[in-house]
Amino acid sequence: MKKSLTILLIFFSFVFAQETIAVIDFEGIGISQLEAKALSERLRDELVITGKQKIFESGEMDEIFSEKDFQQSGCNSNECAVEAGKLLSVERIIIGSIRNVGSAYTISAQIVSVGTGEIIKSTIYDYQGNIDGLIMIAMKEVSERLFPTMKKTTARVPEKTASVDQLIWRGVMFVLLMYLVSEV
């Protein structure tokens, strides 16, 4: 019986596991590095909202890079992305740049496989306007282009609902806990 539960637990862990992705601070061309960092952080936030994958937090990334003397600014090549991804132990890493000329901005973003160094997906988004629009509109669009989601319905869903994955996981953990308690 214990063997069956262990196998079941391992199976559900793999089924509901999400890959971890890191977003390297985008290179800023024609904008300050602080603005590029803020826009990169917004992309991380937008990716977290999709719930499709786990996103490496920027504070943890900075700490690991600092320990390993790795400079992430200017890390915009596949080779650099692979090196950073290996340091962070992630499967995929997002790199990119934000370029500004006048009131026109171009965001270029690529998802790079840390294992192969290949670009898995790439997008370019052009935006005309002030930099405020980049944080409110453009980064959401870049997130959607990198990880498309289904169109939202007009039905309102309560904010504190658990996803099906969370409910199944809670059920599995409850059954496992009850089994362990009954063995004692």
CA 108 to chain centre: 16
- Kindly state whether residue 1 falls inside one of the protein's structural domains: no
CATH of the domain at 29: 3.40.50.10070
Confidence class for position 107, pLDDT limits 50, 70, 90: very high
Longest dimension (CA), the chain: 70
Which pair of structure tokens corresponds to residue 37?
């960092």
Give me the chain's average pLDDT, please.
Answer: 80
Q: Pick from 105, 109, 169: which is nearest to 144 by CA?
A: 109
- Does pTM top 0.75 for this prediction? no
What total number of domains does the chain contain?
1
- Kindly state whether residue 27 falls inside one of the protein's structural domains: yes
In the block, residue with structure tokens 């990119």: 96
Domain that holds residue 84: 18-159
- Kindly state whether residue 108 falls inside one of the protein's structural domains: yes
Helices (H), the chain: 2-15, 33-50, 58-67, 78-88, 131-133, 139-146, 164-183
- Kindly state whether residue 172 falls inside one of the protein's structural domains: no
- Kindly state whether residue 36 falls inside one of the protein's structural domains: yes
pLDDT at 154 over 60: no
At 2-38, the pLDDT tens digits run 665 555 555 554 444 567 899 999 999 999 999 999 9
Which pair of structure tokens corresponds to residue 10?
């391992």
At 37-50, the pLDDT tens digits run 999 999 999 999 88
- Kindly state whether residue 124 falls inside one of the protein's structural domains: yes
- Kindly state whether residue 13 falls inside one of the protein's structural domains: no
157 vs 66: CA distance, rounded Å: 41
Taking each helix axis from N to C terminus, what angle separates 33-50 and 58-67, rounded to the nearest 10 degrees? Answer: 120
- Kindly state whether residue 59 falls inside one of the protein's structural domains: yes
